[in-house]
Structure 1
Amino acid sequence: MREAPLPARPSPDPAEEWLWGWDPTPGIVSVWAEPDGRAFCWRRRADTGELWCERARFRPWLVLSSLEDLQHLEPEFVRASDGEAPRPTSRPTSSLASRPASRHGLTIRELEGPGELRYLVEADDGRALVSEILRSAGHRLGRKLGSLRQLGDDYALHLPPEEQYLVASGRTYFRGLTFDQVRRAQIDLETTSLHPDRGRIFLIAARAWDGHTEILEAQGQGDAAEAELLRQLVAWVRRCDPDVIENHNLHGFDLPFLARRAEVLGVPLWLGRAGGPGLRERPAARGASFPEPEPESEPERDPEREPPPGAAGATATATPSAGAPGRQPGGRGPSKAPGGAAGRRAGGDDAKSRRRQRFTVPGRELLDSLDFVRRHDFSARDLPGHGLKAVARHLGLTAADRELVPGHEVHAVYLRDPDRVRRYAAADVEEAAGVSRLLGGAAFALAHMVPRRYERLADAGAATGIIDPLLVRAYLRARAALPAHQPGDGTPHQGAALHLFATGVAERVVKADVASLYPSLMRQYQLGPARDRLGVLLTLVDRLVEQRLAAKARARAAAPASPARLLDEAISAAMKLVVNSAYGYLAAGALTRFSDVHAANRVTEHGRRVLGLLCRELAARGGTLLEADTDGVYFAVPQTWTEQDEQRIVAEVGALLPPLVQLQYDGRYAAMLSHEPKNYALLPYQGPLLLRGVAFRSSRAEPFGEEFLRQAIERLLRRDLPGVQRVYLEAVRALRERTLPVEQIAIKVRLTKAPEEYEAVRGQRRELPYEAMLQSGRERWSRGAVVHVVRLTGGRATVVDPPNDDDDDGSKQRARGAAATARHDYDVDYYVKSLRTTFAARLATGLSPEHFAAVFADPDQLSLFGPTLAGAEPILTRLTDAEASVLLPEAKRPPG
């Protein structure tokens, strides 16, 4: 077996090792490790696709800030000088004497430097080590302890077993593999209800890595038919043997539902490549600490559990797994029920806790494409929504003949037209695969760098989930002590610069983009954390920027949609994600290990100076400033300028910036509505209207209002004020005549209180969504449920969501009655008022008060003597105080 020491001997170029690790082992597609020091690496050959499982050994380890709870274990002290293997030392490194042997095979190495976490402790069995520490600490403190977390965030650095192994070995995922060489499968459940205790799975679409889709169906309505369907799914997974299982909202719906139904039906879910059945839980919170399971309650692990008869599984070390006999490596213990404890919790009424959960199985990575979508939209902010259908349409993945079925009608449609639902489900998994391929490249590339399981990187936060592991690996590789988290000295964080220079409508708009301003300033002025004595963060940022530029160049030179181009684009996206998070990591206070608010404030100070220089120079050359922040500057240009003039001016101003700060010509637009900071609309010379900011895009806004906004803003930006008025009058007429579908006037609300929680506060404050539930005859709901609420006359409200298939007849009748009531009794006056005061008001900055009053006048009170709209034009109002804050040179700026 392969032994992974920690730390290993550094190479001549530590920066490359800090970024990529040091072990060149190719083809790792999944890693599973145990606290007893066994690790299992599933590897795939790039040329043949052959898969095998490699067994390895590592020394479970943690890093402590104190040795006071280890003195009873008779540890062996070792030290390791550069170029030497760890060895016993002839003198103690603390008050404890050096021993020739120790209980649990315990060794302690004191790390170099001033960091608080300085004792690297290795043992034969990690669980036994933690149990001994907790027992000793509990005796010292006079109370029983179940977790290292109870000793404080900086008592110990303790990672999950897989991360211990990857940090120790220097290995990472996917070396030598392209995105498409990793075998991915997509599964999608169709159910009779959204709740697993009230519904069943009746159909599963399963798409294999080669693109072939099978539709698995229950042959009947009862338990036996559904149980056989789940067994078909298990058999399909083991036959297809994917490295990755994914779907859209996999962790939010499919896996919790599947786990619960398997538990209810007593069906073992043998979905992993090793270990027992069931889905295991894993930490999903975006944070720096990793919870330690309580020894008293953790189920026993079965390290050599037999697979089910005929199952494909991992075999002896470095031998092909397909069809070979053999015993499987260990899992994290079989669950007490076939579906697993995770399934019970996921399927219960606490939907809020279910959304926070993630699941895992040995030997496969479980990925949710919804995580890719959220990560993409956080930076791009260009998606119409996060649902699969909306994203697929936006990305051009939707087939022309794509079958669509309303979600609440899927089972009913299946009963009368099963082929239609089969096509619908097959399209779902095809689109999920496409979304993953287009948006999942960053997580795939990060797995080449970061010592974490691939599935954890897919939903990890950039600072604590990506940068922290890189820093920890680098410090332990250098045998250097780690700093503790520090709350800071009370110095406030100064924040980013943001300027709004004008509101209203501007034409001929240019965006000059400052590429990664804060990371560039960190590089330019060497502004890193004071406690990062090795300079790892700045070195990583330097290497990432350089290698990102190289990856972008390679991608441009490669053939469109080729594996090489997709990989390099993914690497570029991943590196951009990490680079742009470096400043946030610096400014995060006690949340990150190497934070430094003083360095962060120096970065923002330089940023304000750079932004001021940009604005002054663009204005001096004839630009009209609109908005500026760390992403760049929007400005309007004179009518006589050509696109070449625009590019020349941006290049001229960019040449005045520090060498490592780059200004790019990022785009041009026919018009822009500037509403408030970071809330604006852009009309390209070609293409659809772009809306940015919560003022124009909100999940809680009524759909009719957002559609009105989109149409009205586009007409405003085209100088068509009579057209804006027509859109408004049409919307008012549709509301008053009740011709809008009820779905267009309903707001989407998430219920954050359970029924008993709302009942406890109802006497003090009544809340519309819960009153709507009760008035609709719905007295039970799950915390976290999403419902659609419509206001009725008389201050009443109702919920217009369709009934569940498994609701009783009375509940179904009440739900249908509520929807029918909403269509005929919604509060017209409220919605007309909201149209003007909530939605139309967002156009006010682009119109004079007189023209705003004329455009959005009550149709029943239109005046013959009001201002005419013939020849009326939008307006732009310059905010002179904002201009003065950046346009005056530093030396001449007035005090205060």
Structure 2
Amino acid sequence: MSGKLWGMMAGMVEDEWLWGWDATPGIVSVWAEPDGRAFVWRRLPESGELLREDVRFRPWLVLSNLEDLEHLGPRLRPEREGPAPRRVTYQELSGPGALRFLIRAEDGRALASDVLQGASRRLGRPFANLRDLSAETVLSLPPEEQYLTASGRTYFRGLSFEALHRLQFDLETTGLDPGKDRIFLIAMRGPRGDTDVLEAHGDGDAAEADLLRRFVERVRQWDPDVIENHNLHGFDLPFVARRARRLDVPLALGRAGSPGLRHRPSARGSALGRGAERNADSMRRARYTVPGREFIDTLDAVLRHDFSARDLPGHGLKVVARHFGIAGPAREYIPGARVHEVFRTDPERVRRYARDDVAEAEGVARLLGGAAFALARMAPRRYERLADAGPATGVLDPLLVRAYLRSGAAIPAHEGGDGTAHSGAALHLFATGVARRVVKADVASLYPSLMREYRIGPKRDRLGALLSMVDRLVDQRLAAKKRAKAAPAGSTERHENDALSSAMKIIVNSAYGYMGAVGLTRFSDVHAANEVTRRGRAVLALLCRELARRGVTLLEADTDGVYFAVPEDWREEDERRVVAEVAALLPRRVQLEFDGRYAAMLSHEPKNYALQSHDGTLHLKGVAFRSSRAEPFGEAFLRKALRCLLAGDVAGVRDVYVDTVMALRRRRVPTTEVAAHVRLTKDSAQYAAVRERRRELAYEAMLTAGRTSWAAGERVRIYRAVGGRAGLLPEPAQDDVDEDVSAQGDEDPRDYDVEYYVRLLKDTFAARLERGLTPLDFSTVFDDPGQPSLFTPSLADSRPILTVVQAPPEDEPRQESLGG
């Protein structure tokens, strides 16, 4: 066979590993049952017509040996003899992997029962679920993933994101407790963009039950492939389910099977209710699902975006919509706690508010949901599961399992490692304080690039599947980026290729972390990960040395890139030239690119900094400047003070500080602005057990407000009141996670401990600016305005400072620096 033909065949195999091998187009949902029935809904790309296919598949699992099936006797036969009634077949997979017997049967439940019976006999104790067996002895997947893995099918082949029939809905409720509060309005946006607002015609059970029935009927009429909303799994679906159960209303939201919602395990499930009722709620660890439709929570896409970009001021729907320009200028805003009150006096205003909510949910889903849509074209999982999956165990593991089974190869079991620690990524802080004329040079996917350059992959991946996938994804991502750039702005083609590029980037960038996650991923290899880390450190040291040689001031460097300040007389072409010169010295597949230029930067700590663009836009990075727990008044102060500091206006920082202190002391700051948004880590019983030894503000606030029971995981807004008391504020509406709700109206007590928050302002928020000022200037700027001194130094001539804290890496032989 010629080398060219062999290469073509190898490429086809690798594409099958990555994309599957069944070209069936238009799959929009898959539902499978353990008894071997699978239901496949397809939307024809040409006409948009929806079809349903009912097919049979043979449920399967992978075992390390056949010992637990020996009791089947002649019913256990080699796969080559073919299926037969009640027959269980096995296929021995090749290679050294621990999981080496692929077992198939007509019915998955019966197969699981057979294995559990054998394991119980062998180990002398009962087992009720395959999850109770060691992961070293069995691999068992949900029925849908069994079907998709075995068939080589994936979602959405030949479909664009716009071809999906998507529906958004949003609840308006009288409160946040489904045990006592009601749904009084449901806004809906249909697949064609038409909106409808359903309302309860009265205040009793019958009116709410009628509202829920009309909601279910409208879903069935519009027949969407996907149902979306923001915090859908954290609030809307659990609330609907609880109210429907209480009112005995069947929730027939699926396309097949018995009415009602089912649930699936999930790391981020809902936590509704209070006390014992809340603790018992299984939805704390699960999400709802139905046959034939996919539930997509836009909060998942927002969290995924912010994990990498770190550019969002919050994660609530309205905050995100404003950030991305989705919110219209006439958008209606109502504080969440007042929606029902406003509805009683001005229902049309609430209807506008609800319509805006579903329109923004659609916009966020369209803008940020493309990556999960593209991942569903690759990985053998339901679309809704990929939308909230982690890239390692949720995407790479399914891809690798499919690749190994397609190749007839035995699969490694999870291993705990040999005790070798995973060495951390390289990170350098060269200077702290305020720098001007700042440039960022971006290192594109450093670790995956080094894996490719030096062919570093997991030792147990004998097929080389992980490296092959990274290779092909990088090449295909570059092609997708090129197509996106060539497509007209705002076009479907650009959106699809941008989404495809983002999805591929997610997988590529997770490959290094996948290798280092000992015990968590199937092909982990800490030694390979550490070798990548070593080479990464050498590359980073090289580019820092070479940049410093060219006259720049290094500020910070990590595996994402390098920030540096340039001389005052440099122009942009000088900045780009230097980056290009250093890029030429790096390994072939490592790309260093000019990524941006900024007017100024405050370097505080590693990965904690503030950048100001030349147009005045402020970018904050790290928990020192952005934290979901931070009090809003402090963050508002910090943003104003940073603008002054980065502009060189030290006296202006003083003015902002004085204004904030005086606003606190005159109680012009609403209580919501001093409240912290915290997640409880102890339930009521756990706190009661330690309360005598240590009292904590969050839990004391619950008790002071009359809350005697709560569950771990609940989010609350607390503040310190006068006299050391703990205060509790009502939560904002659940679709506004992390929403900054500053209006409390006339009911705001403003009973917070003023001097406590003045100290917090200086000790916590002002401290973020300390590295940008001399000790004398810092003391002067943040001197208590209520205690003026006759000898206060003038700030007229004060300027921010920059302090070098680490020299550039010393010269090393180039071969060693590259890890050769």
The interval holding the TM-score normalised by the smaller chain is over 0.9
* Aligned match of 1:48: 47
Q: Give the drift of 1:862.
A: 3.2
* Aligned match of 1:449: 378
For residues 351 and 257 of structure 1, do their structure 2 counterparts lie closer, same or farther at Cα, with a shift above 3 Å needed? Answer: farther
* Aligned match of 1:317: none
Q: Give the drift of 1:749.
A: 2.0
Taking structure 2 as the reference length, the TM-score comes to 0.94
Structure 2 counterparts to residues 845-860 of structure 1, below 5 A = 845-860=771-786
Do structure 1's residue 650 and structure 2's residue 579 form an aligned pair?
yes
Among 743, 757, 761, which residue is 1:835 paired with? 761
Do structure 1's residue 59 and structure 2's residue 58 form an aligned pair?
yes
C-alpha distance after superposition, 1:299-337 (max 9, x if no partner)? xxxxxxxxxxxxxxxxxxxxxxxxxxxxxxxxxxxxxxx
In structure 1, distance between residues paired with 2:268 and 2:522: 14
Match of 2:31, SS?
Answer: strand
- Please say if residues 20 and 153 of structure 2, whose CA atoms lie closer than 8 Å, have aligned partners that are also in contact: yes
For residues 563 and 699 of structure 1, do their structure 2 counterparts lie closer, same or farther at Cα, with a shift above 3 Å needed? Answer: same
Match of 2:319, SS?
Answer: helix
- Please say if residues 448 and 509 of structure 2, whose CA atoms lie closer than 8 Å, have aligned partners that are also in contact: yes
Q: Give the drift of 1:268.
A: 0.6
Cα RMSD of the aligned pairs, angstroms, is: 2.3
Structure 2 counterparts to residues 554-565 of structure 1, below 5 A = 554-565=483-494
* Aligned match of 1:756: 685
Q: Give the drift of 1:47.
A: 2.0
Do structure 1's residue 888 and structure 2's residue 817 form an aligned pair?
no
- Please say if residues 28 and 172 of structure 1, whose CA atoms lie closer than 8 Å, have aligned partners that are also in contact: yes
Identity, % of aligned positions: 64
Instruction: Give the letter for the 1:45 counterpart.
Output: L
In structure 2, distance between residues paired with 1:491 and 1:734: 54
Among 127, 137, 154, which residue is 1:172 paired with? 154
For residues 522 and 410 of structure 1, do their structure 2 counterparts lie closer, same or farther at Cα, with a shift above 3 Å needed? Answer: same
C-alpha distance after superposition, 1:603-623 (max 9, x if no partner)? 000000000001000000011
Match of 1:197, SS?
Answer: coil
Q: Give the drift of 1:34.
A: 1.3
Q: Give the drift of 1:493.
A: 1.0
Instruction: Give the letter for the 2:349 counterpart.
Output: R
C-alpha distance after superposition, 1:319-372 (max 9, x if no partner)? xxxxxxxxxxxxxxxxxxxxxx99999994239863542111000001100000
Structure 1, unmatched stretches of 5+, are 1-9, 80-85, 89-99, 288-340, 805-815
Do structure 1's residue 662 and structure 2's residue 604 form an aligned pair?
no
In structure 2, distance between residues paired with 1:188 and 1:839: 36
In structure 2, distance between residues paired with 1:422 and 1:541: 48
* Aligned match of 2:313: 384
* Aligned match of 2:700: 771
Match of 1:206, SS?
Answer: strand
- Please say if residues 75 and 86 of structure 2, whose CA atoms lie closer than 8 Å, have aligned partners that are also in contact: no
C-alpha distance after superposition, 1:447-472 (max 9, x if no partner)? 00000000000000100000000000
Q: Give the drift of 1:78.
A: 7.2
Match of 1:236, SS?
Answer: helix
Among 426, 429, 432, which residue is 2:355 paired with? 426
- Please say if residues 257 and 346 of structure 1, whose CA atoms lie closer than 8 Å, have aligned partners that are also in contact: no
C-alpha distance after superposition, 1:161-197 (max 9, x if no partner)? 1000001110000000000101000011111111100
* Aligned match of 1:741: 670
Q: Give the drift of 1:439.
A: 0.3
In structure 2, distance between residues paired with 1:361 and 1:662: 45
C-alpha distance after superposition, 1:779-817 (max 9, x if no partner)? 34454332222212322221132799xxxxxxxxxxx99
C-alpha distance after superposition, 1:441-498 (max 9, x if no partner)? 0000000000000000000010000000000000000000001111111111111000
Do structure 1's residue 700 and structure 2's residue 629 form an aligned pair?
yes
* Aligned match of 1:295: none
- Please say if residues 444 and 454 of structure 1, whose CA atoms lie closer than 8 Å, have aligned partners that are also in contact: yes
Instruction: Give the letter for the 1:841 counterpart.
Output: A
In structure 1, distance between residues paired with 2:591 and 2:245: 57
Structure 2, unmatched stretches of 5+, are 1-8, 734-743
* Aligned match of 2:541: 612
For residues 175 and 227 of structure 1, do their structure 2 counterparts lie closer, same or farther at Cα, with a shift above 3 Å needed? Answer: same
- Please say if residues 281 and 360 of structure 1, whose CA atoms lie closer than 8 Å, have aligned partners that are also in contact: yes
* Aligned match of 1:34: 33
- Please say if residues 498 and 677 of structure 1, whose CA atoms lie closer than 8 Å, have aligned partners that are also in contact: yes
Match of 1:617, SS?
Answer: helix
For residues 655 and 12 of structure 1, do their structure 2 counterparts lie closer, same or farther at Cα, with a shift above 3 Å needed? Answer: closer
For residues 552 and 475 of structure 1, do their structure 2 counterparts lie closer, same or farther at Cα, with a shift above 3 Å needed? Answer: same
Do structure 1's residue 862 and structure 2's residue 791 form an aligned pair?
no
Structure 2 counterparts to residues 817-832 of structure 1, below 5 A = 820-821=748-749, 823=750, 825-832=751-758
Match of 1:215, SS?
Answer: strand
Instruction: Give the letter for the 1:218 counterpart.
Output: A
Match of 1:716, SS?
Answer: helix
Structure 2 counterparts to residues 780-819 of structure 1, below 5 A = 780-801=709-730
In structure 1, distance between residues paired with 2:415 and 2:709: 45
Structure 2 counterparts to residues 183-582 of structure 1, below 5 A = 183-285=165-267, 348-350=277-279, 354-582=283-511
In structure 2, distance between residues paired with 1:343 and 1:853: 47
For residues 345 and 577 of structure 1, do their structure 2 counterparts lie closer, same or farther at Cα, with a shift above 3 Å needed? Answer: farther
- Please say if residues 178 and 273 of structure 2, whose CA atoms lie closer than 8 Å, have aligned partners that are also in contact: no
* Aligned match of 1:597: 526
Among 61, 80, 83, which residue is 1:87 paired with? 80
Instruction: Give the letter for the 2:804 counterpart.
Output: R
* Aligned match of 2:111: 129
For residues 164 and 101 of structure 1, do their structure 2 counterparts lie closer, same or farther at Cα, with a shift above 3 Å needed? Answer: closer
C-alpha distance after superposition, 1:726-782 (max 9, x if no partner)? 000001111111111111111112233333332222112111112122223443445
In structure 2, distance between residues paired with 1:533 and 1:196: 52
- Please say if residues 701 and 728 of structure 2, whose CA atoms lie closer than 8 Å, have aligned partners that are also in contact: yes
In structure 1, distance between residues paired with 2:271 and 2:279: 12
In structure 2, distance between residues paired with 1:525 and 1:286: 37
Taking structure 1 as the reference length, the TM-score comes to 0.86
C-alpha distance after superposition, 1:10-33 (max 9, x if no partner)? 987101101100000000000011
C-alpha distance after superposition, 1:197-255 (max 9, x if no partner)? 01111110011010001101111111111111111011001100000001000000000
Match of 1:104, SS?
Answer: coil
* Aligned match of 2:654: 725
* Aligned match of 2:738: none
Q: Give the drift of 1:66.
A: 1.4
Instruction: Give the letter for the 1:856 counterpart.
Output: F
Count the aligned residue pairs. Answer: 798
Match of 2:184, SS?
Answer: strand
In structure 1, distance between residues paired with 2:421 and 2:705: 49
Match of 2:136, SS?
Answer: coil
Q: Give the drift of 1:149.
A: 2.0
For residues 820 and 376 of structure 1, do their structure 2 counterparts lie closer, same or farther at Cα, with a shift above 3 Å needed? Answer: closer
For residues 126 and 613 of structure 1, do their structure 2 counterparts lie closer, same or farther at Cα, with a shift above 3 Å needed? Answer: same
* Aligned match of 1:97: none
For residues 577 and 254 of structure 1, do their structure 2 counterparts lie closer, same or farther at Cα, with a shift above 3 Å needed? Answer: same
Match of 1:483, SS?
Answer: coil
Match of 2:68, SS?
Answer: coil
- Please say if residues 670 and 748 of structure 2, whose CA atoms lie closer than 8 Å, have aligned partners that are also in contact: no
For residues 817 and 521 of structure 1, do their structure 2 counterparts lie closer, same or farther at Cα, with a shift above 3 Å needed? Answer: closer
Do structure 1's residue 138 and structure 2's residue 131 form an aligned pair?
no
- Please say if residues 501 and 878 of structure 1, whose CA atoms lie closer than 8 Å, have aligned partners that are also in contact: yes
In structure 2, distance between residues paired with 1:352 and 1:798: 27
Instruction: Give the letter for the 2:380 counterpart.
Output: P
Instruction: Give the letter for the 2:294 counterpart.
Output: E
C-alpha distance after superposition, 1:18-58 (max 9, x if no partner)? 11000000000000111121111100012211001012221
In structure 2, distance between residues paired with 1:387 and 1:401: 19
